[in-house]
Structure 1
């Protein structure tokens, strides 16, 4: 029996811890800073944030326990392919939990990254590996081109890793046959370019780029990945932009999408 994950359509990996919860006082203070000292979050905004955090928690807790039990049973199973399917499904639920937790943090106010010096090449390579573990398909060829020299940036490893994983996962889910990830640098910035040969971005999607839970953009999800990536990059003085892919058209003859992410180097 094939079971379609209920929440898989929310957007475009290993077990990922949910973003740390902030207290209601911290959330209110962040929101006041974001909206102005005299502004208070509306009751509906507070309810939305609390709801997102509760759903994220209620998904992550039982899923994490189930994943632990599954790993214990994996050594005794005579059907490793079924264990692999279950593990992949649980990782998708954990990814959803992380997305919702981050969406709640973004609703509460500007992000405050906990930064360390990281080699961006390693973050990109790890993100690609984790994205393939969640969203990889046998009919999709992936490649990753990295420069030889270190590219050090002052970033929040958890946030940036999650962002890269989501953008690459988005490409994997929508590609016809190929996804490429290329890293380059110039003028004190590193650029990560993720391309696919899928349906590309419609004018409707481009008009709402950066908005979460936007209706009518189902061909590339509900906007969670790109909107959160844009906010994460902004918190690091980086940028996100989209363009048409330079890859050959996919099986349906469409020109795919390219997502470009930049971060300042130290």
Structure 2
């Protein structure tokens, strides 16, 4: 194995390890949020904005971990590419809805 190959291998292993280490606590946190919501019972609606914000943050960490893993796979040339047709309308709608939620609290104009 050449030094270049070894460096690529180490980089791939590092990225995949970091991705794994991020996913573990993120999964635990999502589980804890679900338990917290269940424990709140009838009061859960009162805390929905905070729970939603926390879930969004954890989901961002999960997506970052997935991107790190994909980057590692690309470095190792182990990823396959396939094109998919995607309807972005639901995503844009969700982004607008979430931005509208910030409108009052953070004075964001949509």
**TM-score range, shorter-chain basis?**
0.5 to 0.7
Is the alpha carbon distance of 1:110 and 1:131 closer, same or farther for their aligned partners in structure 2, counting shifts above 3 Å? farther
Is the alpha carbon distance of 1:125 and 1:90 closer, same or farther for their aligned partners in structure 2, counting shifts above 3 Å? same
1:97 to 65, 79, 98: 65
The answer for the alignment partner of 2:22 in structure 1 is 59
Moved over 4 A (4+): none
2:50 to 75, 82, 85: 82
Is the alpha carbon distance of 1:104 and 1:127 closer, same or farther for their aligned partners in structure 2, counting shifts above 3 Å? farther
TM-score (normalizing by structure 2): 0.67
Q: Deviations over 1:26-77 (max 9, x none)?
A: xxxxxxxxxxxxx785222111111100000000111012112212322413
The answer for the alignment partner of 2:5 in structure 1 is 42
| Equivalenced residues, count | 96
TM-score (normalizing by structure 1): 0.31
Is the alpha carbon distance of 1:51 and 1:68 closer, same or farther for their aligned partners in structure 2, counting shifts above 3 Å? same
**5+ residue gaps in structure 2?**
102-108
The answer for the alignment partner of 1:70 in structure 2 is 33
The answer for the alignment partner of 2:87 in structure 1 is 124
CA root-mean-square deviation: 3.3
Structure with the higher strand share, 1 or 2: 1
> Secondary structure of 2:55's partner?
helix
> Secondary structure of 1:124's partner?
coil
> Secondary structure of 2:99's partner?
coil
Is the alpha carbon distance of 1:45 and 1:130 closer, same or farther for their aligned partners in structure 2, counting shifts above 3 Å? farther
Is the alpha carbon distance of 1:40 and 1:103 closer, same or farther for their aligned partners in structure 2, counting shifts above 3 Å? same
Is the alpha carbon distance of 1:127 and 1:101 closer, same or farther for their aligned partners in structure 2, counting shifts above 3 Å? farther
Structure with the higher helix share, 1 or 2: 2
1:87 is displaced (CA, Å) by 0.7
1:112 to 73, 77, 80: 80
**5+ residue gaps in structure 1?**
1-38, 140-175, 178-266
1:112 is displaced (CA, Å) by 2.5
